[in-house]
Amino acid sequence: MADDAVAEQERMRTFQAAALPHLDDVYTLARYLMRNTHDAEDAVQECFLRALRHFDSYRGPAMKPWLLAILRNVCNAEFARRGKEELPTDYATDETLAEEMPMWQEPQASPEKMIVQRQDSATIRRLVAELPEPFREAIVLREMNNLSYQEIAQVAGVPIGTVMSRLARARAMLRSAWNATENSIVRPGPAAAGTAP
Amino acid sequence: MKCDELEVLLHALIDDELDAGHAQDVETHVAGCSACAAQLASYRAMHEIMGGGALKETAPAHLRSRIEALVAAPASRVVSMREFMRPTRRWFFGGFAAGSALSAAAAASVVLTVLRNDQSQTIADEVVSAHIRSLQAGHLMDVETSDRHTVKPWFNGRVDVAPPVVDLTAESFTLLGGRLDYIDNEPVAAIVYQRRKHVINLFVARHLGAKYRRTLSESIQGYNVRHWSQDGFDLWAVSDLVGDELDEFVQKIAGGLRQPPRAS
């Protein structure tokens, strides 16, 4: 019995050392998939419970994508359980708030002058949150979780070609979203970024 | 190469997923095409803003303590609150033209062969494993010295490179010594540094993964990994140092390599 207890403690320590460093990554994905803090926190907790239960069968290679794949399954199961019920979102949806924080400005008149302006991160979050699900997931796994295409393919359970088309599509949608944002800050003076020789 | 074929490749270029040859092809096209250049510039700016960390969430303190308590409890008492059914796909495809998604998918299938080899990922994992192995008692160093003139000759005949050994004592990275290690079944030189309590393994070989002009960053099992190619070497730095400090280390090493060897 004593040996079992020691082995169990060792197992818990190994799990802690391997999994806890990725808590923020797991939470980030949960936050963007569930779109509100309450559901995100429940999903993260369930994810770590499951990961702990299945840790014995974990054979690598990398801990982060493994945890994120579990988190994704937890979220999808939750969506399925709730059916068509609309999930509450606590991203800023208030129109006036949204318009007070414009996205990047990208003048369309001249491609040579296309430049992306740094804007409020709350606005970017909102636009990412508004992307349809597979595209939102792809962009968050790539940009916020910093996964490779191969890892995203593993987490989402799709071929790498699908990952690539989803990412291209996600970025194109994001780009039009900020182009469409009215009341954007007008760039001060002409800028010469993005010109071809 | 046509512009619409190129679009998916632009993203792969931004994400550092193209092999060197195809990255070159894309850059050549972009240099002569202002529309693609503008597209690349705006997508790259988006990537830099979104990947910069500002959009990453931090788990709230109360959640962190809940999870920590959870993984500290004996497993027998850990019971799931809900029974979760098998995940069901309920993808929401509203509001976008299926046509463009299909053509993007078609374009993507064409370019799969040009993606950077998975071998790099395997090597990244191996490098981290080698780092972890090295931390076990008695495994860290084969030659233990803070003198770079002792470390460098020690590798003679053991590996096929004369690995550069840079003295960074002034930058508070202490040189601990060197070790012969094996990655991808090849002998590689491991040069060991330390800052405070954090050990840094710098793996150096002629060929270790794909070549990158820019530094590639990742985090594996909680360790930070940096990979770059310079002066005919492939270099991998691994440590539990925070990312910023490891970036500083990489910069100092890269800077040290560029200096002509001093007479000593």
- pLDDT for B81 beyond 50: no
The phi, psi pair for B246, rounded to 5°, reads: -70, -35
Are B25 and B123 part of one and the same domain?
no
Q: Determine what percent of chain B is predicted with pLDDT higher than 90.
A: 20
Mutation site for B-interface testing, chosen from A164, A169, A173, A184 by largest number of B Cβ within 10 Å: A164
Q: What is this structure's pTM?
A: 0.55
Max mean pLDDT range (A105-114, A179-188, B31-40, B66-75): B31-40
Give the burial class of B83: count Cβ atoms within 10 A of its Cβ; 0-12 exposed, 13-18 middle, 19 or more buried: exposed
Are B112 and B215 part of one and the same domain?
no
Instruction: Kindly list the residues from chain A whose CB atom is less than 8 angstroms away from the CB atom of residue B75.
Output: 8, 11-12, 52-53
Are B109 and B134 part of one and the same domain?
no
Of B33, B80, B85, the CB nearest to A80: B85
The residue that leads in pLDDT, B155 or B185, is B155
Q: In chain B, which among 141-200 make CB contacts under 8 A with chain A?
A: none
Question: Rounded distance, CA A112 to CA A195, Å?
Answer: 5
Number of cross-chain residue pairs from A and B with Cβ atoms under 8 Å apart: 229
Instruction: Report yes or no on B263 lying in a domain.
Output: no
Record the tokens describing residue B108, joined without a space.
Answer: 């993507």
Of B30, B34, B217, the CB nearest to A112: B34
Are B103 and B156 part of one and the same domain?
no
- pLDDT for A159 beyond 50: yes
Are B108 and B187 part of one and the same domain?
no
Q: CA of A5: which chain B residue's CA is closest?
A: B74
DSSP code per residue over A71-113: HHHHHHHHHHHHTTPPPP--S---HHHHHHS------SS-GGG
Give, in degrees to the nearest 5, the angle at Cα B126 between B125 and B131: 100
Instruction: Report yes or no on B90 lying in a domain.
Output: no
Record the tokens describing residue B45, joined without a space.
Answer: 């700016």
Instruction: Report yes or no on B21 lying in a domain.
Output: yes
pLDDT at A4: 74
Are B110 and B176 part of one and the same domain?
no
Give the strand pairing for B174-183 and B143-144.
Answer: antiparallel
Phi-psi region of A127 (alpha: psi -120 to 50; beta: other; left: phi over 0): alpha
- CATH code where residue B161 lies: 3.30.200.100
Helix H segments across B15-73? 20-31, 34-51, 61-72
pLDDT at A144: 94
Max mean pLDDT range (A76-85, B85-94, B205-214, B218-227): B218-227
Total domain count for chain B?
2
The phi, psi pair for A86, rounded to 5°, reads: -75, 130
Mutation site for A-interface testing, chosen from B39, B40, B50 by largest number of A Cβ within 10 Å: B50
Give the CB-side neighbour count of residue B248, counting CA atoms within 13 A: 10
- pLDDT for A50 beyond 50: yes
Are B135 and B253 part of one and the same domain?
yes
pLDDT at A14: 86
pLDDT digits (tens, 9 = 90+) for B113-161: 455 555 566 788 888 888 888 887 667 777 777 788 888 888 887 887 7
pLDDT digits (tens, 9 = 90+) for A3-31: 777 777 788 888 888 899 999 999 999 99
At A70, is the pLDDT very low, low, confident or very high (cuts 50, 70, 90)?
A: very high
In three-state secondary structure terms, A116 is coil
Question: In order of start, what are the domains of chain A with their CATH numbers?
Answer: 2-82 (1.10.1740.10), 97-180 (1.10.10.10)
Q: In chain B, which among 79-138 make CB contacts under 8 A with chain A?
A: 80-82, 84-96, 100-101, 104-105, 107-109, 111-112, 115, 118, 121-122, 125
Record the tokens describing residue A186, joined without a space.
Answer: 């007008």
Residue with tokens 């090493």: B253
Domain of residue B2 covers 1-52+98-116
Instruction: Report yes or no on B74 lying in a domain.
Output: no
Q: Does B72 touch chain A (CB under 8 A)?
A: yes
Question: Rounded distance, CA A38 to CA A78, Å?
Answer: 13
Are B124 and B254 part of one and the same domain?
yes
Question: Rounded distance, CA A134 to CA A124, Å?
Answer: 17
Are B183 and B235 part of one and the same domain?
yes
